Amino acid sequence: MFAWLQRRSAPPPIDEERWQRLRRRIEPVRRMPTERLDALRGLTARFLASKAITPVAGLRLDEDRRLTLAALCCLPIIDLDFEALAGWHELVVYPGQFRVRRHHHDEDTGVVAEWDDELAGEAWDRGPVIVSWADVRADLRDPGSGCSVLVHEIAHKLDVLDGAMDGAPPLPAARRAAWIAAMQPAYESLCAALAALPEGVEPDPESFPVDPYAAEAPDEFFAVVSEYHFSAPQVLREAMPEVARQLAQFYGPSPMDLPRQI
């Protein structure tokens, strides 16, 4: 109801002082040129006006923290459109990593396996994005680490926009072909490097070009390399130049390649 009205009315603007504080808190935002910064500010205001940010398990979020979370969610969509965040309405924030119950029903054996996972973030298909505030803060403190839990989860949301969680966001046919031509060999060579490890040996993240978690599945690969694009683009360029090029085309140039503006 009144969707047309909501679309036409501008969201409440973000307070100038608060925005300047935010600029100093998020390294890629600190390095962003004015034009993109203005776009991010507009998107962040729309995010705050249209999505719920829900702290749970005793966490408290003041206005500055909410602004930080909203801006981080919008960071990957500056070159896209706010509609890229369509189909979900809530960001749920835990104080730390959270435990989820997993089930797997093996069709052949009929065995149902159940286990617990500790997660820093999760994005449900058509459901909320869930993150750990402790992990978001760790990313803010170490912005060149190659980790960004919110970029990771938003990449999953962009991936599933076309209905398939397959490691590719919606793209015109020719660009999709180029995307797959870049992503697939890089993904497969990472999988091969992991498969070459002796049995029972845990991969040492230091000896891999990117976090070996990227080899879980093509959708995780897209999410992990997206984290590098926004935090350590030079690492990605050296390890996977074609992948880096596709991401720069999709997300726009990484602000981490620029000097600080403030």
What are the residues binding Zn ion (CB under 5 A)? 220, 223
Nearer Cβ to Zn ion (27/227):
227
Nearer Cβ to Zn ion (119/258):
119
Buried b (16+ CB within 10 A) or exposed e, 212-230: bbbbeebbbbbbbbbbbbb
Decide if 26 contacts 72 (C-beta within 8 A).
Answer: yes
Q: How far is the CB of 212 from Zn ion (least distance, A)?
A: 13
Nearer Cβ to Zn ion (48/247):
247
Nearer Cβ to Zn ion (30/229):
229
Q: Furthest-apart CA pair in the chain: how many Å?
A: 60
Structural element, H or E, at residue 213: none
Taking CA 158 as the corner, what is the angle to CA 261 and CA 16, rounded to the nearest 5 degrees?
Answer: 35
Nearer Cβ to Zn ion (47/221):
221
**DSSP assignment of 218-231, as one string?**
HHHHHHHHHHHHHH
Q: How far is the CB of 100 from Zn ion (least distance, A)?
A: 13
**DSSP assignment of 6-49, as one string?**
HHHSPPPPPPHHHHHHHHHHSHHHHT--HHHHHHHHHHHHHHHH
Between helices 149-159 and 218-231, what is the axis angle to 10°?
130
State whether residue 253 is helix, strand or coil.
Answer: coil
List the structure tokens of 210.
């990117």
Nearer Cβ to Zn ion (48/149):
149
Q: How far is the CB of 123 from Zn ion (least distance, A)?
A: 7
